[in-house]
Amino acid sequence: MKLCYANRGFLPCVDPATELELGESYRVLDRLGHMLPSLLLEPDARNYLRGAHIPEWPYVNIPGDLWPQACLYYLRLGFIASGYINQIGQPSCHSLPANLARPLCKIAALLERPPILSYDGYALYNWRRFDPQKPVALGNIDTLQNFVHLYDEHWFILVHVEIEAKAAQILKAVLELGGKPGPFQVDEALDQIASALGEIIQVLERIPEKMSDELYFSRFRPYIGQFHDVVYESVKMEPISFRGETGAQSSVMPLLTELMKIPHQDNRLTRHLLDMRQYMPKPHRLLLEQVKAMPDLRPIAKAQKYDAVLELMANFREVHYHWAIKYIARRSNDQQGTGGTPYLRWLKFLIDETRGYKKERG
């Protein structure tokens, strides 16, 4: 997979593929994807999907020039599988039929990730630009796949896409630090990171502009829920549980946590956070390990600049915390997020420890 972190952040280097071009038989996935929001309104959707012929990925690997096709193939299958298991208004389901399970497990194995729709498929690969000459930004992007016929879900996804696009400035600053950065280089990078975080927070604050809390909670959040003890038919594995799609599977904040060397306590909450990494694309996981191995910036950074980044990280999490209350906690006694985390306690914990690591406290 070609990487271009400095220009695109964790988004793919080229705009995602919008149609499968692996052969005529593969177009069934595009058709099912386009039909999915309507199909999921029908009580017979599972029978229909169970009867669909889904061709498996045609290669034993992923040829370099076919990564966009592989990502779209995984995206379509991931949405269909989550729609099947989590269909709203139907009995709970713990079995994914063989025609969906086999191809999903094969492409997931090649991508070295669990066979469930995660943040990468839901957001990182799930967009197109109206005008290819203009930025990857709200107003110039749309989704490729959705669960429901509501612009609210488009907006929810697209806000995350713009956040990832703006995070390219963060990755560029981190990558330019090199192996042994000096004080000036460190402070300059921290300024760039702080600037990008400020822009990212502004994007996150836009969530309520076009997303209803009632519609989010009742109409499309259930589709990104966890898989509990699901049997993947005709696949040799025991019933298994996977975490649902969640923004905690984004690599942006984990990268900053590794860069800033924030010493979060080892407990059940932070183990949840580490577990989310298995749902990230493998190259992103590897980059997090590389950043973890970088020198500690804290001893040589100016306190004002180092603390400014920590404060903005805390601010980002506070906005997220506020939206978690508005969109989830006020509507449910369930204190777990789609990824299975006790999200309110978890976010508050991360906010406090981030601020607590400032060089100058007060």
- Judge whether residue 65 has pLDDT over 60: yes
Mean pLDDT of the chain: 94
User: Which among 141, 190, 146 is positioned nearest to 301, based on CA atoms?
Assistant: 190
* Arithmetic mean of pLDDT, 18-25: 97
Q: What is the pLDDT of residue 336?
A: 54
Q: What is the pLDDT of residue 52?
A: 98
- pLDDT confidence bin for 1, thresholds 50/70/90: low
- Strand ranges (DSSP E) for the chain? 95-96, 128-129, 141-142, 227-232, 240-242
Q: What is the pLDDT of residue 290?
A: 95
What's the DSSP call for residue 122? I
- Judge whether residue 262 has pLDDT over 70: yes
Of the listed ranges 172-176, 307-311, 320-324, 332-336, the least confidently predicted one is 332-336
- Judge whether residue 334 has pLDDT over 90: no
Q: What is the pLDDT of residue 2?
A: 56
Q: How far apart are CA 86 and CA 94, in angstroms?
A: 9
**How is the beta sheet containing 227-232 ordered, strand by strand?**
95-96, 227-232, 240-242
Q: How far apart are CA 256 and CA 272, in angstroms?
A: 17
Q: How far apart are CA 226 and CA 228, in angstroms?
A: 6
* Arithmetic mean of pLDDT, 215-230: 96
What's the DSSP call for residue 25? G
- pLDDT confidence bin for 302, thresholds 50/70/90: very high
Handedness of CA 322, 328, 331, 336 (dihedral sign): negative
- pLDDT confidence bin for 346, thresholds 50/70/90: confident
- Judge whether residue 18 has pLDDT over 80: yes
pLDDT in tens, 162-197: 999 999 999 999 999 977 899 999 999 999 999 999
- pLDDT confidence bin for 341, thresholds 50/70/90: low
| Count helices and strands in the chain by DSSP H and E runs | 15, 5
CB 131 within 8 A of CB 81: no
Q: How far apart are CA 277 and CA 272, in angstroms?
A: 9
Task: Supply the pTM of this predicted model.
Answer: 0.95
Q: What is the pLDDT of residue 347?
A: 80
Q: What is the pLDDT of residue 335?
A: 55
- Judge whether residue 155 has pLDDT over 70: yes
- pLDDT confidence bin for 271, thresholds 50/70/90: confident
- State what percent of residues in the chain have pLDDT above 90: 85
* Arithmetic mean of pLDDT, 9-18: 97
Q: What is the pLDDT of residue 39?
A: 98
What's the DSSP call for residue 362? -
- Judge whether residue 97 has pLDDT over 80: yes
Domains for the chain: give ranges and CATH numbers: 5-355 (1.20.58.480)
Of the listed ranges 48-57, 80-89, 349-358, the least confidently predicted one is 349-358
Q: What is the pLDDT of residue 329?
A: 82
Q: How far apart are CA 349 and CA 351, in angstroms?
A: 6
